[in-house]
């Protein structure tokens, strides 16, 4: 019997992203943020909006359309998607000015905590009939001074060969192409998975409507998401992209960096391999 693949909707993806975001209570707190700082940031944001209204002579119909769009973003739960696609890369750029070691990138809306624990040499969970070219990512986690970080955690997740993420696409099993890898005593790891595909962010909701209205494209280049953690070290959240990949130079989320591009090579067996080392700075 054939299986019908049900593509994720913007509303479904938005609801999943919102639920996951709300579950991580610590992400919603800004401990120690003073009223003065809140006032300064909010005032600057509003000033930017006011300046845009004046500069472009926004009409009442345009203003009302904007209000209706903002309401729809909230009602569909698409704020995590919208913020992660259009705002997070700037927040990450600011954070990177005080960070040393491996370059960071955005986390995006599709992270799910609590995934299966895997050994240093492993294969990510996948369906028996998982499509996609075999891919191996290996490397080492070490400190800035070169000290290997044994027992570091490499939390990795990515889209499948059709561009869908488990937990956000109803046809995919839970935990598909996700795992938390523990490095060996020398900080090394080797992860077998499949080549992910580029994907377009959901376009049937308000975020997609905005993109279409502006004449932009909704595509992200193929990438691997990684969060690397080690006790006593500042975690790094990043993404690894693929040399020559489609949309690499026009990522809708503006999150690509040349330092994060890998170039897997066929090892003669049909498996593509690439090595990438991660460097963490101490707290």
Extract the tokens encoding 190: 């080797």
Ramachandran bin of 177, using left for φ above 0, alpha for ψ from -120 to 50, beta for the remaining angles: left
- Measured CA to CA, the distance from residue 94 to residue 48 in angstroms comes to 19
Structure tokens at 33: 């943020």
pLDDT of residue 11: 53
- Distance CA(111)–CA(132), nearest Å, equals 21
Low-confidence ranges of the chain (pLDDT < 50): 1-5
Domain ranges of the chain: 95-280
* Phi, then psi, of 169 in degrees rounded to 5: -125, 120
Q: How many residues does the chain have?
A: 283
Instruction: Tell me the CATH class for 95-280.
Output: mainly beta
Nearest of 131, 74, 73, 89 to residue 251 by alpha carbon: 89
3-state SS, the chain, equals: CCCCCCCCCHHHHHHHHHHHHHHCHHHHCCCCCCHHHHHHHHHHHHHHHHHHHHHCCCCHHHHHHHHHHHHHHHHCCCHHHHHHHHCHHHHHHHHHCCCCCCCCCCCCCCCCCCCCEECCEEECCCCCCCCCCEEEEEEEEEECCCCECCCCEEEEECCCCCCCCCCCCCCCCCCCCEEEEECCCCCEEEEEEECCCCEECCCCCHHHHHHHHHCCCCEECCEEEEEEECCCECCEEEEEEECCCCCCCCCCCCCCCHHHEECCEECCCCCEEEECCEEECEC
Instruction: Identify the pLDDT of residue 211.
Output: 94
Q: Could you tell me the two tokens for 4? A: 């019908």
What are residue 239's DSSP bridge partners?
A: 225
Q: For position 109, what pLDDT does the model report? A: 87
pLDDT digits (tens, 9 = 90+) for 154-202: 999 999 999 999 999 999 999 999 999 999 999 999 999 999 999 998 8
DSSP bridge pairs for 190: 121, 138
Burial of 145 (0-12, 13-18, 19+ CB in 10 A): exposed
Q: How far is CA 101 from CA 151, 247, 275, 280, in A?
A: 18, 26, 16, 5
């Amino acid at each position: 019997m054939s299986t019908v693949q049900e593509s994720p909707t913007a509303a479904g993806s938005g609801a999943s992203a919102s639920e996951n975001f709300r579950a991580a209570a610590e992400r919603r707190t800004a401990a120690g943020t003073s009223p003065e700082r809140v006032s300064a940031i909010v005032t600057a944001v509003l000033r930017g909006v006011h300046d845009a209204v004046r500069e472009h002579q926004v009409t009442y119909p345009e203003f009302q359309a904007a209000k209706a769009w903002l309401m729809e973003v909230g009602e569909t739960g698409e704020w995590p998607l919208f913020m992660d696609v259009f705002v997070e890369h700037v927040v990450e750029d600011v954070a990177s000015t005080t960070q040393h070691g491996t370059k960071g990138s955005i986390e995006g809306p599709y992270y799910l905590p609590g995934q299966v624990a895997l050994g240093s040499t492993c294969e990510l969970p996948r369906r028996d009939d998982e499509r996609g070219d075999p891919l191996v990512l290996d490397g080492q986690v070490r400190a800035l001074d070169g000290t290997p970080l044994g027992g570091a955690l490499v939390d990795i997740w990515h889209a499948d060969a059709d561009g869908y993420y488990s937990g956000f696409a109803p046809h995919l099993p839970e935990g598909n192409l996700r795992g938390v890898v523990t490095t060996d005593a020398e900080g090394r790891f080797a992860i077998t998975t499949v080549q992910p595909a580029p994907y377009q962010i959901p376009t049937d909701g308000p975020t997609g409507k905005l993109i279409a209205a502006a004449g932009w494209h909704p595509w992200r280049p193929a990438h691997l998401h990684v969060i690397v953690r080690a006790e006593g070290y500042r975690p790094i959240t990043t993404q690894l992209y693929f040399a020559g990949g489609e949309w690499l130079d026009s990522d809708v989320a503006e999150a690509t960096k040349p330092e994060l591009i890998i170039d897997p090579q066929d090892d003669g067996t049909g498996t593509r391999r690439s090595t990438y080392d991660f460097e963490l700075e101490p707290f």
